[in-house]
Amino acid sequence: MSWINPDLIRAKFSKTMSDMYQQEVPLYGNLIDLVHEVNTAELKNSKCLEQQLKSTNELERLSEERHGAIRLGTAEELFNMRRIFAVMGMYPVGYYDLVPAGVPVHATAFRAVDAKSLAISPFRVFTSLLRLELIENEALRELASTILSERQIFTTEALALTKKSEDQGGLSATDAELFVQEVLETFRWHSNAPVARDIYDALHDQHRLIADVVAFRGPHINHLTPRTLNIDAVQIGMKSNGIPPKAVIEGPPSRQCPILLRQTSFKALEEPVFFKGEIEGFHSARFGEIEQRGIALTSKGRELYDSLLASTRKILNAPITEANASEYMEILAKQFEAFPDSYDELQEQGLGYFYYHLDNHYQPDQKTWTIEDFPALIAQGVLAFSPIVYEDFLPVSAAGIFQSNLGDNVHSEYQSRSNQQQFEASLGAKVSDLIEIYEKIQNESIQQVLSSLNKKSVLTA
């Protein structure tokens, strides 16, 4: 039996999810149109950027690129979600603790992990798990636990097809099509809440995110995120198109050579909900998000980034709101002047990860080449390099996005802190170290260059 490539199942699921979310949240469709306009203009104005995206296989995937986000309530839900994502070639990468920022969850990102798979479909899902132990009210904590234990967020067929894939090593075309449709039901919005209005209010008063996780039938997709090449233009475009953006763009400031990840969003929609007894109410949680991805940074680069971001927030010395947004962005830009803003400097100083490309017309000397020869080859124009895109997330930025859609004044202080061991126990697996993944991709590129160089050397001997 021939099984469908998991990358193709993931690509199909991403497209189907996007179509569903556009129907549920029409503003998302407007956002897609705006991002397309901005990206088209950027590519038209910069052939250099277009060539860079082509050389790293990012151009073709750009229009299809999305990341989603869901919030789960129990260890069992997370465990089964991991199994389902594995059928689509998506694996847990990174551990994100949002508790220090006042959001009672920890998370991982499910995504493809090798360059070829990412080129086919870079779909990612930022997946959070509620930390029930942080609900201070004991009676409310037990009630929330009971509510979550009584729900089943996956269809029987979705779990059956997942086990079938695990047992036989893949799915047929017919099964893969059914699998996508069945799993989609987990992410669908349901306006009929399984709890009474007073319970929802109590959960909401504890934390709006807790209500979003506990009071509904499943982990409705709370945003889908297209990738733009100019997030500042999209931020301006949202305002002029009547789409209310959040106060500031999360992440680093605008740069010639983008690093890591910048994110913004339009504010959460107020959607009608019917509680038990057909009592009508409203719930705000789902929103539209946009991202601009830059180069993945090495450990050295991340340390510099984190220190500059920390100094920015220390200077501001206040929560970021609409009122101080301009001041924050000015401080941020000033602090990040210390971060090199050219690919040459990032490469020379070991701050970022790169793909390496050899000029095919070059005829090498008769010698054995090593990585120590790279600086000379780069200087001669024989060897070129292109940035490896950052495929992951930033915990401070994720918390900022969450908070902006929970209300600017919402900020909780929790005593409990990071617990990766607990998260991985719930997950039923270890999360991959994202730095190791980028190291592997860069090293594979280096080895391909050395192999090509030394093969040519042998041929010319």
Strands (DSSP E) contained in 99-221 are: 105-111, 124-130
To the question of domain 6-295+389-433 being in CATH 3.10.180.80, the answer is: yes
Each residue's pLDDT tens digit, 334-345: 999 999 999 999
Helix (H, G, I), strand (E, B) or coil at 188: coil
Each residue's pLDDT tens digit, 240-254: 888 888 888 889 999
pLDDT range class, residue 409, cuts 50, 70, 90: very low
Mean pLDDT of 222-230: 89
Residue 198 has pLDDT above 70, yes or no: yes
How many other C-beta atoms are found inside a 10 Å radius of the C-beta of residue 108?
27
Mean pLDDT of 201-209: 89
pLDDT of residue 129: 96
CA 365 from centroid of its chain's CA atoms: 44
Residue 406 has pLDDT above 70, yes or no: no
Residue 282 has pLDDT above 90, yes or no: no
CA distances to 5, 81, 137, 190, 211 from 207, rounded to whole Å, are 41, 24, 12, 21, 7
pTM: 0.89
pLDDT range class, residue 408, cuts 50, 70, 90: very low
d(CA 159, CA 153): 10
Residue 168 has pLDDT above 90, yes or no: yes
Each residue's pLDDT tens digit, 84-138: 999 999 999 999 988 877 888 999 999 999 988 998 999 999 999 999 988 888 9
Each residue's pLDDT tens digit, 426-446: 999 999 999 999 999 999 999
